Amino acid sequence: MTDDLCKAGIMIEELSKKTSEQAGSGEQIRDGAPIMEHVVAANLPTKYGKFRIHGYVNRLNGEHHVALTMGDVGDGRPVLVRVHSECLTGDVFGSAKCDCGDQFDAAMRMIAAEGRGIMVYLRQEGRGIGLINKLKAYALQDQGMDTVEANVALGFPPDMRDYTVGAEMLIDLGAKRLRLMTNNPEKISGLEKYGIEIVERVPIETKHKSASDAYMKTKKVKMGHILKTY
């Protein structure tokens, strides 16, 4: 997921710090009391193959997040992982404004091809600003702003995503050494802070779409994403 405000990554350090202070999450982790509670696991057959779906609840704010796993992901071997932030417009509606849906699809196929891996699906729409604010930013983009300018115009930093939740879910699943599928270097440092080792960055290059061209260029130039095509 990577919408026009879908997600990416400037100022993550700063923000994670702020979020931790606000929510006490940093303290909670240091105290050994995780925020995320693993409340349920069930089989989930999909068009990509057979997964297990794990439901987590954030004990601080009640938010729900899920992880899909295939194979034995807790055996200590490096595991293929995608940490994907929800993008309703891209994941479900097939929006051409971003590459989120394509990245989700590519990651699910890569996990299925290996027969082992984890898709962490974080319900932090619009790089954490929420669905309605994301749509407001789209409206500003209709008037010529880029994704970063639109977020700032709405009073948000370019990226409000917090990787505490994802990191805790991965640790709970026994995955501490990752082959992380991402083009976003901030995501790597975001996870490494929690003692997770990224042994390899696995790039996800999706097909070029003219409608998302400007957005992808913004991600590359303003948000430090590693993209060969743009």
Active site residues: 159, 161
Select 67 or 87, whichever has its Cβ closest to Zn ion. Answer: 87
Select 90 or 117, whichever has its Cβ closest to Zn ion. Answer: 90
Select 34 or 90, whichever has its Cβ closest to Zn ion. Answer: 90
Amino acid letter, 85: S
* Sign of the torsion formed by the C-alpha atoms of 56, 58, 61 and 66: negative
Select 99 or 168, whichever has its Cβ closest to Zn ion. Answer: 99
| Strands 177-181 vs 197-202: parallel, antiparallel or unpaired | parallel
Min. distance of Cβ 89 from Zn ion in angstroms?
6
C-alpha to C-alpha distance for 151 and 201, rounded to whole angstroms: 28
CB proximity list for 119: less than 8 A, separation 6 or greater: 51, 67, 68, 69, 81, 82, 84, 104, 107, 108, 111
Tokens of 15: 């923000």
Q: How far is the first Cα of the chain from the last one, in angstroms, to the nearest whole number?
A: 17
**Residues near Zn ion, by CB under 5 A:** 1, 3, 6, 87, 90, 98, 100
Min. distance of Cβ 57 from Zn ion in angstroms?
25
* Residue of 87, 96, 93, 109 lying closest to 8 (CA atoms): 87
Min. distance of Cβ 85 from Zn ion in angstroms?
8
Select 31 or 142, whichever has its Cβ closest to Zn ion. Answer: 142
Min. distance of Cβ 114 from Zn ion in angstroms?
25
CA dist 211 → 63, 125, 206 (Å): 32, 20, 13
Min. distance of Cβ 216 from Zn ion in angstroms?
11
C-alpha to C-alpha distance for 85 and 63, rounded to whole angstroms: 13
